[in-house]
Structure 1
Amino acid sequence: MTRTRIVAMALLLLAIVVARVHHASWRAFHAGRSAQAAGDTPGAIANFERAIHFYAPGSPWVESSVKALWAIGAGAEESGDRALALSAYRTLRSSLYAVRSTYTPFSEWIGRCDDRIARLVAEDPDYRSRFPGVSAAALEARVRENLSRNEAPDVLWSIVVEIGFFGWVGGTIGFILRALGESRETFSSRRAIVWGSIVVAGYALWIVGLMKA
């Protein structure tokens, strides 16, 4: 197999990976919309969170899920449901932190969430009772300071994502080169099982890592 064909297959695999991520995000987003239509707000929040976790640059479904979570939080605020509003804002905030790497996508939304969370927490009677005599403004500043601390993704699960991705792609290339060979006569069932197992394990690790990171 020529080097050109190997490069072409690698590019094809990369395109498949990107398409798979976009599709998973699309499915999760529409599952969230369906949950909303059915009145299942917690289910909608969970699915929008999942859609964001399948982040790929330029994905419209991730951006739509960000806006959907924000809308849930804003709507809950208007109706006086502080707990639901906090759940939506915190989910949005943690989801964006979970998908950051060398940069943080939609970083401006994190700041907006911090403002809303700080105000809602500071207004909570149970929280205020823990700090008698402290003004609401001081409590809000305290919460915002805590939120401003750097929150990196879980290192272990981030490593799992990388291992899973390269295991999946590398296993697929190995399957093509080592198991299939140049012709049908050179097919090796033993090698196919080994490399096929690597593909499955790598893909599974990649998906689990994306959900947990």
Structure 2
Amino acid sequence: MSPARARLFTRALRALATVGFVGLVLGAVTARVVWSGESEIAESTAALERGDAYEATVRARRAAGWYAPGAPHVRVAYERLGAIATTAEGLGDRDLALLAWRGIRTAALETRWLVIPHAEDLDRANLAIARIEAAAPRPPGTRTEPPQRIEQRQLAALLRDEAPRTHWVVLLLVSFVAWAGGAAWAVRRSSDAPGAFDVARARAGVLVALLGVALWVLALWRA
């Protein structure tokens, strides 16, 4: 095998090893998430069988937080929280209903990234929380607004998005990759010749790294 082919073969093996390692790590993380979610759902089911609706709600909320795309325990958790909330609201148990609806809302917000996987569940929970809060009993003489206006104000507060804006988060990630990649490129290009350090060859990588730093600072400030 020629030296050029040997170097190419070595690089291919390194790339495959890197991909395999990343896949192994992702697989281990996914297995941990699914195992934890299924365990919480099992505990939630056991609590329901004991008649402990509060514990069942708390456990289902934790299961929803162990999010993995397509994991069956996530859908079960959201459906269970919705069922508990609806039943509790129908029975007049305001505290349990709010606990379940807030569990849906918190889980949906915790597991969002570029998108909100459970956006419909989040909207449903926001509407329910606003409705229940607006109907809450108040001391005589303090309720001067109609319930509809209170509900609108509550809903507006729930819909207020104070999380980092998605496009700036994406730019933050891209700029970090440019920063790290440009620096690595500069080091590699400048040291191609044995025993030499060629600044001119490293110029492009340095410029990419500097651009990445500038964009990273901008994205960090605006996100």
Query: TM-score, length-normalised on structure 2?
Result: 0.63
Q: 1:43 aligns to what?
A: 55
Q: Aligned partners of 1:56 and 1:145: how far apart in 2?
A: 30
The 3-state SS of whatever aligns with 1:125 is coil
The correspondence for 1:108, drawn from 120, 124, 128, is: 120
Q: 2:221 aligns to what?
A: none
Q: Aligned partners of 1:146 and 1:23: how far apart in 2?
A: 35
Q: Is the 8 A contact 1:52 1:65 kept in 2?
A: yes
Does the alignment pair 1:13 with 2:28? Answer: no
Number of equivalenced pairs: 152
Does the alignment pair 1:148 with 2:187? Answer: no
Q: 1:136 aligns to what?
A: 147
User: Relative to 1, partners in 2 of residues 1:111 and 1:6: Cα closer, same or farther, differing over 3 Å?
Assistant: closer
Q: Is the 8 A contact 1:97 1:152 kept in 2?
A: no
- Residue type of the partner of 1:142? R
Larger Rg over CA atoms: 2
Q: Aligned partners of 2:78 and 2:19: how far apart in 1?
A: 36
Q: 1:85 aligns to what?
A: 97
Shift of residue 151, structure 1, vs aligned partner: 4.6
Give the CA RMSD over aligned residues: 2.0
Q: 2:72 aligns to what?
A: 60
Q: Is the 8 A contact 1:123 1:136 kept in 2?
A: yes
Q: 2:209 aligns to what?
A: none
- Residue type of the partner of 2:94? R
Shift of residue 122, structure 1, vs aligned partner: 0.8
Q: Aligned partners of 2:81 and 2:156: how far apart in 1?
A: 23
User: Relative to 1, partners in 2 of residues 1:132 and 1:13: Cα closer, same or farther, differing over 3 Å?
Assistant: closer
Q: Is the 8 A contact 1:97 1:151 kept in 2?
A: no
User: Relative to 1, partners in 2 of residues 1:50 and 1:130: Cα closer, same or farther, differing over 3 Å?
Assistant: farther
- Residue type of the partner of 1:140? E
Q: 1:193 aligns to what?
A: none
Shift of residue 45, structure 1, vs aligned partner: 1.4
Task: Describe the superposition over 1:84-103 as per-residue Cα deviations: whole angstroms up to 9, x where unpaired.
Answer: 11111011111111111111
The 3-state SS of whatever aligns with 1:16 is helix
User: Relative to 1, partners in 2 of residues 1:54 and 1:73: Cα closer, same or farther, differing over 3 Å?
Assistant: same
Q: 1:175 aligns to what?
A: none
Sequence identity percentage: 33
Does the alignment pair 1:24 with 2:36? Answer: yes
Task: Describe the superposition over 1:96-117 as per-residue Cα deviations: whole angstroms up to 9, x where unpaired.
Answer: 1111111111101111111111
Q: Aligned partners of 1:110 and 1:129: how far apart in 2?
A: 33
User: Relative to 1, partners in 2 of residues 1:46 and 1:124: Cα closer, same or farther, differing over 3 Å?
Assistant: same
Q: Aligned partners of 2:71 and 2:124: how far apart in 1?
A: 21
Shift of residue 6, structure 1, vs aligned partner: 4.0
Shift of residue 131, structure 1, vs aligned partner: 4.7
Higher RCO structure (Cα 8 Å, ≥6 apart): 1
Task: Describe the superposition over 1:164-209 as per-residue Cα deviations: whole angstroms up to 9, x where unpaired.
Answer: xxxxxxxxxxxxxxxxxxxxxxxxxxxxxxxxxxxxxxxxxxxxxx
Q: Is the 8 A contact 1:93 1:109 kept in 2?
A: yes
Name segments (4+ residues, structure 1) moved above 6 Å: none
Q: 2:110 aligns to what?
A: 98
